[in-house]
Chains A and B, each alone.
Chain A
Amino acid sequence: MNGALLRVEGLGVTLSGRAVLKDVSLSFSSRHLVALVGPNGAGKTTLLRALAGLVQSTGTVEVGGDRLSSLPLRERARRFGYLPQGHVVHWPLQVRDIVALGRYPRGATDPARLSPEDEIAVTRAMQATDITTLAARRVTELSGGERSRVALARVLAVEAPILLADEPTASLDPRFQIDVMKNLRSTADNGVLVIVVTHDLALAARFADTILVLSNGRLVAQGTPEQALSEAVMADVFKVTAYRADYQRELVIVPWTGV
């Protein structure tokens, strides 16, 4: 049982003739929070989408020993919870019904007819994100911070072994950013492999077990925050210097000035 939950070998993605991802290989087990960082256009979102099987890719992706390409869509959806950027909801739906859509891969296609098991998962996800009191509200009446918590609850309700989140902290105030990261941290501690794309190196350094640095479609650094966000990486990949410190025995990295 020491096999990796997610194993990626030589993953490549080409979009409209341009190689967006080249030869990415990685391997992670459960109970792990991975932050995927890199400059704009490095291929972070593409990597997440390739992992979730939402974009054509070359190479192999294995989930729990099964090749992703051999799994039917439903089964993929049960193994990956995917939280895209933007948290779009096209109709003024009720918060609880949106969270319940997370149970869709388990066959719960109608939020009014959830099995007791689905009901428990939905309740648990709403409690974890502290939106239980919003259950009956329409999503259009919510603030940006509330909406992002609803989106997070929706993906938590999938209860997949792997959770992929694309910039879940974007456009949130500091308090909510920390809340979301703490949430993902405890999700990982509960046995899930969480991979989160972020531009916030400080949050990444503080909460992640492992940091992956992507640049021009290649994985250029991988390791603990100290290793992956070394001064050399900061200068070469992000073109910045960084202020480093210890605060409450945690690494603090603040990008400081361009080089």
Chain B
Amino acid sequence: MVSQSATKPSYAITIGLVVLVVLLALVSLGTGPVRLSPVTVIDALFGGGTGAQQTIIREIRLPRAILASAIGAVLGLSGAALQGLLRNPLASPSLFGAPQSAAFGAVLMIALGWADVRSYALPVAGIAMAFVSVFVLLSIAGRNAGLLLLILAGLAISSLAGAATSLVMNLSPNPFASLEIAFWLLGSLEDRSFRHVMLALPFIAAGAILLWSQRSAFRALSLGEETAQSLGIDVTRVRLLVITGVALGVGGAVAVSGTIGFIGLVAPHLMRPVVGYDPARLLLPSALTGAALLTAADIAVRIIPSNTDIKVGVLTSIIGVPFFLYLIVRERRALAGGVA
């Protein structure tokens, strides 16, 4: 008998990660100027506790916790999907320029002074720009473009969006606007309301569904595009769907949180030693890991004592990068052997 697949669905790991995310979310709900125990948190969630506790948990902290896990999840999922699509462990959600473009749209709203009066303007502009970036990417590269062309066009678009963001800061009417933009770009989940959740969640969910639907194609793509095509996969279509999925999910995320680095890159790397290298098997654990990482980071920014509040995007990068270096050193051998 042939031995069984080493890449069996790892239910234990998935369940473990789900439990971790739920626990972290509970801690997140209890963390802040008013500390609450997990029991109080659960009580307040289901309508118990004092009125003040209920307001704090359900209206102030719950949106934040939901956004942290949803955004973390879509970042982890996008990273794993792109690494699967490109067969390259260096791929991250920012590769095709959608997050940078979303950031530009949002920043433009801040500079125009529209971000305060109408709180929808900023996220809507972010999501719209993410879409524009995909449209431009695909019209530059053409529908049947190869991977290299798409990556180059994506690089150009992300540079352009970065430059446009700088230009907006450069031209901003007053130093306060510049500062606001700079802080917004650092990425944060503070003071987000259910309106933000309702706005971002449909895009994040749509993006996640698109990416998830392509999972088995990533597995076949492990053998290269030509072989995948000979196995009956429409590689061009897979590419379009994945790029669109990332733009939807990450664009929606960036539009409400600002740029949050490294989770998309790190989450799949964290999970590979645990669930194996099968790119399809990696999606769900990477998403859950992303959710856990961002929720944990968002707890940390509220616990770490400092004069001004630390932005969660800064923390994910500050901790993410050294950790990533450690992973690279540890995985050096496997990566050197695995990736041509």
B227 contact from A76, A82, A111, A122, Cβ within 8 A: A82
Q: Which residues of A are found within 8 Å of B277, using beta-carbon distances?
A: 91-93
Q: Is the CB of B3 within 8 A of A97?
A: no
**Does B219 belong to the interface (CB within 8 Å)?**
yes
Given A94-B7, A122-B2, A136-B3: A109 touches B216 (CB 8 Å cut-off): yes
Q: Is the CB of A101 within 8 A of B219?
A: yes
Contact residues, A74-123 vs B (CB, 8 A): 74-78, 80-82, 84, 86, 88-94, 96-98, 100-102, 104-105, 109-112, 119, 122-123
Minimum CB–CB distance for B59 against chain A, Å: 43
Give the distance in Å from the alpha carbon of A141 to the alpha carbon of B4 in the complex. Answer: 18
Q: Which residues of B are found within 8 Å of A119, using beta-carbon distances?
A: 2
Q: Is the CB of B5 within 8 A of A154?
A: no
Q: Is the CB of B3 within 8 A of A89?
A: no
**Does B339 belong to the interface (CB within 8 Å)?**
yes
Q: Which residues of B are found within 8 Å of A136, using beta-carbon distances?
A: 3, 6
The residue in A94, A102, A105 that gathers the most chain B C-beta atoms within 10 A of its C-beta is A94
**Does B182 belong to the interface (CB within 8 Å)?**
no
Give the distance in Å from the alpha carbon of A54 to the alpha carbon of B231 in the complex. Answer: 11
**Does A195 belong to the interface (CB within 8 Å)?**
no
Q: How large is the interface on A (under 10, 10 to 19, 20 to 34, 35 or more residues)?
A: 35 or more
Interface residue SS majority, chain B: loop
**Does A232 belong to the interface (CB within 8 Å)?**
no
**Does B9 belong to the interface (CB within 8 Å)?**
yes
Give the distance in Å from the alpha carbon of A100 to the alpha carbon of B4 in the complex. Answer: 11
Q: Is the CB of B222 within 8 A of A110?
A: no
Q: Which residues of A are found within 8 Å of B219, using beta-carbon distances?
A: 101, 109-111
Q: Is the CB of A111 within 8 A of B5?
A: yes
**Does B279 belong to the interface (CB within 8 Å)?**
yes
Give the distance in Å from the alpha carbon of A91 to the alpha carbon of B219 in the complex. Answer: 10
Q: Is the CB of A84 within 8 A of B5?
A: no
The residue in B8, B223, B339 that gathers the most chain A C-beta atoms within 10 A of its C-beta is B223
Q: Which residues of B are found within 8 Å of A78, using beta-carbon distances?
A: 232
Given A77-B230, A84-B230, A98-B223: A90 touches B338 (CB 8 Å cut-off): yes
Give the distance in Å from the alpha carbon of A158 to the alpha carbon of B88 in the complex. Answer: 27
Q: Is the CB of A110 within 8 A of B280?
A: yes
**Does B319 belong to the interface (CB within 8 Å)?**
no
Q: Is the CB of A105 within 8 A of B222?
A: no
Q: Which residues of A are found within 8 Å of B216, using beta-carbon distances?
A: 104, 109-110
Give the distance in Å from the alpha carbon of A77 to the alpha carbon of B230 in the complex. Answer: 6
Q: List 20 A-B contacts (CB under 8 A).
A: A74-B232, A76-B232, A82-B230, A84-B227, A84-B230, A90-B223, A90-B338, A91-B87, A91-B339, A94-B276, A97-B6, A98-B222, A98-B223, A101-B219, A109-B220, A110-B219, A112-B7, A119-B2, A140-B334, A140-B337
By a beta-carbon cutoff of 8 Å, the part of chain A in contact with chain B is 49, 52, 54, 73-78, 80-82, 84, 86, 88-94, 96-98, 100-102, 104-105, 109-112, 119, 122-123, 126, 132, 135-136, 140-141, 154, 158
By a beta-carbon cutoff of 8 Å, the part of chain B in contact with chain A is 1-9, 87-88, 216, 219-224, 226-227, 229-234, 276-280, 334, 337-340
